[in-house]
Amino acid sequence: MNVKQLLTTCVLMSGFAVSGAVLAGKITPALTSLDVMHNGEKVTITRTDDDNAVIPDAYLKTSRACPPFCVQPMAVVPGVETVCELEVMGYLKRNADGDRSVMVVDSRSPEWISRGTIPGSVNIPWNKINVDMAGTFAIEAEADTLTDILTDQFGAKLDNGKWDFRNAKTIVLFCNGIWCPQSSVNIKTLTKLGYPAYKIKWYRGGMQDWVSVGLTTTKP
């Protein structure tokens, strides 16, 4: 199977509908665009056909202090699947089609969200969930916030002091890219709490990969 056939098969298996009108450069040979809802409004994800388009300045920098901005591993936690752009769009499509059992989560802080995010994602800043970059638990005042996130947004249930994740959502977490630890730190915290690894997906490439291939972003 050649690359074109492989990409076409991937898209068809993901259940994408192919737009009849060419709005921008194709995402794959079979996929032109994807409609999602973001903050109550329809946003169409496309790939730019502007030959002069470049990666935004925020993602051009290659020298970043480690820690905290260290290169992340390919597998963050055993059992948590690492996904790419097409798979992220597959989950976005499921959600756009009314499947509330999945959620794509932007783990970045508000100052980064203001520069743009993946349409259809939900912002839950990493420090609302968990541990800091040094690995110590967040301040006690954040405990209620974490409980609210797990119950109200992720669909978990707290029963007699124990978490029940049987009806919890499948969540896809991302942040700025392979040098950003925010989503991976969240994943480690969630699995330690008992969130099933198979219900967590990690978009390791994050925003840097998303913008590098010219995919649509949206601002709050």
Q: Is residue 37 part of a domain?
A: no
Q: Is residue 155 part of a domain?
A: yes
Give strand pairing partners of 103: 171
Domain count, the chain: 1
Q: Is residue 133 part of a domain?
A: yes
Q: Is residue 3 part of a domain?
A: no
* Dist. CA 151–CA 139, nearest whole Å: 20
Torsion of CA 80, 81, 85, 91, to 10 degrees: -80
> Taking phi first (over 0 means left), then psi (-120 to 50 degrees means alpha), and beta for anything else, what does residue 43 get?
beta
Contacts of 94 (CB under 8 A, 6+ apart): 15, 102
Mean pLDDT of the chain: 86
Residue percentage of the chain with pLDDT more than 70: 83
pLDDT at 40 over 70: yes
Lowest mean pLDDT among 16-25, 67-76, 124-133, 139-148: 16-25
More confident residue, 188 or 13: 188
Q: Is residue 199 part of a domain?
A: yes
Q: Is residue 124 part of a domain?
A: yes
What CATH number has the domain bearing residue 165? 3.40.250.10
Residue 166 confidence (pLDDT): 96
**Residues 32-49, mean pLDDT to the nearest whole number:** 95
pLDDT at 211 over 80: yes
pLDDT at 74 over 90: yes
Q: Is residue 34 part of a domain?
A: no
Q: Which of 23-37, 87-101, 131-145 has the highest mean pLDDT?
A: 87-101
pLDDT at 144 over 70: no
Torsion of CA 168, 190, 68, 92, to 10 degrees: -10
Which pTM was predicted? 0.84
Domain coverage including residue 179: 61-212
pLDDT in tens, 76-128: 999 999 999 999 999 999 999 999 999 999 999 989 999 999 999 999 999 89
Q: Is residue 73 part of a domain?
A: yes
